[in-house]
Amino acid sequence: MIFGAAALGGMSQERADATLAQVRAWGINHIDTAASYGASEDRLRPWLAEHRSEVFLATKTGERTGEGARRGLERSLERMGVDHVDMIQLHNLVEPDEWETAFSSDGAVQALGAARAEGLVRHIGVTGHGLRIAGAHLRSLERFDFAAVLLPVNFILLEQAEYRSDVERLLAVCADRNVAVQTIKAIARGRWGDGDMRKFSWYDPLTDPAAIDHAVNFVLSHQQMFLNTTSDARLLQMTVDAASGELARPSDAALRADIVEQGITPLFDGMALETI
């Protein structure tokens, strides 16, 4: 399990410190943040001053040019008060024009490779959202030896045949090349409706413990997959509880019952929320 430090973005420092203390007590030692996650990198700084050596620290950049990516990495290091991160990830690399820029001779990939040679980062990854991202990751892996990919995975998403096919092909490539597979949106119930409060999460999350248990086990019973926790910190305990027992894939019948009982709907449709 990976702690999704987007949860810290809107917190006070006091609450962030308490949350990170709990994350440490749970034994979660991979922290995933991003420059775009509000104050997340700033909130991590005091805790990292004491515990940096205990965790795998990953951040992200949305920059596509080499100059922008280097500048963004340096700013992230400064914000967190660290001399390196364990992984920098190209955030949501899916649009064709951005992809071409990132892989150009003066693009972000080359600049981050240089930063890796300097010891500012140890690994480089690529992330994304939406139904196109598994295919985009396959294309990215043809061009560069990324250490990790990140993409949305849950039962209802994989019920979509084309997306499932792309994910299966991506998993095969990642297994062959020892690329880590990080997942997001495990406990997404669906999009927010009009008028819904959207304070803590980009999507409407599950809140029922049994449904969360099924959703978490669906992901983590797959030996290749890591699970990135939701940005709604109120659901962290239930998510950790779900991951703490014997991991077993729920039956399709149980998962389909959750879809009906919890009102679970596909988060992505190829248009809306593709970049969330």
Instruction: Judge whether residue 4 has pLDDT over 60.
Output: yes
Domains of the chain: 3-262 (3.20.20.100)
Least confident of 62-66, 131-135, 190-194, 195-199: 195-199
pTM to 2 decimals? 0.94
Q: Report the candidate in 249, 239, 185 with the shortest Cα–Cα distance to residue 28.
A: 239
Q: How far is CA 187 from CA 119, 210, 242, 263, in A?
A: 36, 11, 11, 12
Tell me the mean pLDDT in the region 61-80: 98
What pLDDT is recorded for position 203? 86
What pLDDT is recorded for position 168? 98
What pLDDT is recorded for position 57? 98
Instruction: Judge whether residue 199 has pLDDT over 70.
Output: no
What pLDDT is recorded for position 39? 95
What pLDDT is recorded for position 198? 59
More confident residue, 193 or 236: 236
Tell me the mean pLDDT in the region 219-227: 97
Q: Which long-range contacts (CB under 8 A, 24 or more apart) does 108-111 make?
A: 108/61, 108/63, 108/64, 108/65, 108/66, 108/68, 108/69, 109/143, 109/144, 110/66, 111/65, 111/66, 111/67, 111/69, 111/70
State how far the Cα of 133 lies from the Cα of 275, in Å rounded to an integer: 10
Q: How confident is the model at residue 201 (pLDDT cuts 50, 70, 90)?
A: confident
Dihedral in degrees, nearest 10, Cα atoms 89, 90, 91, 92:
-130
Q: In b/e form, how buried is each residue of 160-171, taking b as 16+ CB within 10 angstroms?
A: beebeebbeebb
In percent, the amount of the chain with pLDDT more than 70 equals 95
Residue pair 211/241 in contact by the 8 Å Cβ criterion: no
Instruction: Judge whether residue 110 has pLDDT over 70.
Output: yes
What pLDDT is recorded for position 245? 85
Least confident of 95-109, 112-126, 156-170, 187-201: 187-201
What pLDDT is recorded for position 192? 85
Instruction: Judge whether residue 196 has pLDDT over 70.
Output: no
Q: Provide the β-strand partners of residue 127.
A: 150
Task: List Cβ neighbours of 233 (8 Å cut-off, separation of 6 or more).
Answer: 7, 11, 19, 200
Instruction: Judge whether residue 189 has pLDDT over 90.
Output: yes
Instruction: Judge whether residue 152 has pLDDT over 80.
Output: yes
In percent, the amount of the chain with pLDDT more than 90 equals 91
Please give the mean pLDDT across all residues of the chain. Answer: 94
Instruction: Judge whether residue 271 has pLDDT over 80.
Output: no
**pLDDT tens digits, residue range 154-179?**
999 999 999 999 999 999 999 999 99
Amino acid at 152: P
Residue with tokens 């849950």: 154
Tell me the mean pLDDT in the region 71-76: 98
More confident residue, 204 or 86: 86
